[in-house]
Amino acid sequence: MHKSLRIAAATAACALAGGVLYGAGAATAGQSTANSTHEPYNIGLLVKDIDTYYGTTADSDGVYQASPASPYAKDLARIDAAARRYIAKAARKAHHHGEKPAVVFDIDDTLLLSLDYEKRYNYTYNPTTWSDYVNRADRPAVFGSPELVRYAESKGVEVFYNSGLSEAQRAGAVENLKKVGVDINLDTGHMFLKDKANPPAYLSDCAAPGAWNCTTVQYKAGTREHIEDDLGYDVIANFGDQYSDLDGGHADRTYKLPNPTYFVS
């Protein structure tokens, strides 16, 4: 997961903390605040708002966790309920017409929650600390995500994963997903990760061995196009916490999960 941009106030906090900045601002759902000429939202209040939204608390091991009673959890529950209704209906229709329905899930903050990393490193991204964090394979699940993956499979829908994690992080991601109960189609034919050294042929318009020039949208939309055009599936639903997870087509319906802590263009 390359976090190219951070929420404006969070990046300001990083500067205060001596962290590295990764953008000039960003936007959450329904907002457009990057490069605003107005005074930005107060950083101290914004961090408090984020903690309130997640119901953030440190457990007995000092790990930051979201609360299952938080506004974040309630928003996820509403999305989950709507997605289940749609998947059931779309799967029946696809099977009736002899089609192969599929769903595509992002991983970071769609299936595995990275709140502890964000809090611990003041909302900055560092490739070394991030890789270490992913490979620890101990992130908690995003509320409801393992159950939604299993629900889709129970309706005869093929499950795929489309993540910005690198090939070097595959083992950690697979181990972590298994720990939280997402033990479905974790093979290389269903879990697509960034392979910059040897990119797949279907990304040849923007990537060659050792020369990766794909934007997030190109990479993710190109992978969904591969699932549909080359593998023969109809992607009935695509889930992600970033708009760049969802843009570019090749999905009948998209579901944006909440994430106020970073923005990936």
pLDDT in tens, the chain (265 residues): 444 444 443 444 443 333 332 222 333 444 455 677 888 888 889 999 999 999 999 999 999 999 999 999 999 999 999 999 999 999 999 999 999 999 999 999 999 999 999 999 988 899 999 999 999 999 999 999 999 999 999 999 999 999 999 999 999 999 999 999 999 999 999 999 999 999 999 999 999 998 999 999 999 999 999 999 999 999 999 999 999 999 999 999 999 999 999 999 8
Contacts of 138 (CB under 8 A, 6+ apart): 176, 179
Q: Using CA atoms, how far apart are residues 9 and 51, in angstroms rounded to an integer?
A: 14
Instruction: Name the domain count of the chain.
Output: 1
Give a yes or no: residue 30 inside a domain.
no
Residue 240 lies in a domain: yes
Strand, coil or helix: what is 229? helix
pLDDT given at position 20:
31
User: Is 119 part of a structural domain of the chain?
Assistant: yes
Instruction: Reduce the DSSP state of residue 118 to 3 states and report it.
Output: helix
The CA distance from 240 to 103, in Å, is 11
Tell me if 166 is assigned to some domain: yes
Is there a contact between 40 and 12 (Cβ–Cβ < 8 Å)?
yes
Classify residue 36: in a domain, yes or no. no
Q: Is 138 a member of any domain?
A: yes
Distances (CA, A) of 130 to 50, 88, 166, 212: 21, 36, 11, 20
Are 65 and 59 contacting, i.e. CB atoms less than 8 angstroms apart?
yes
Predicted model pTM: 0.87
Beta bridge partners of 160: 104
Residues near 41 by beta carbon (within 8 Å), at least 6 away in sequence: 8, 9, 33
Cβ(120)–Cβ(186) below 8 Å: no
Which CATH number covers residue 232? 3.40.50.1000
Give residue 139's domain range. Answer: 68-260
- Cα 125 from Cα 19, distance rounded (Å): 9
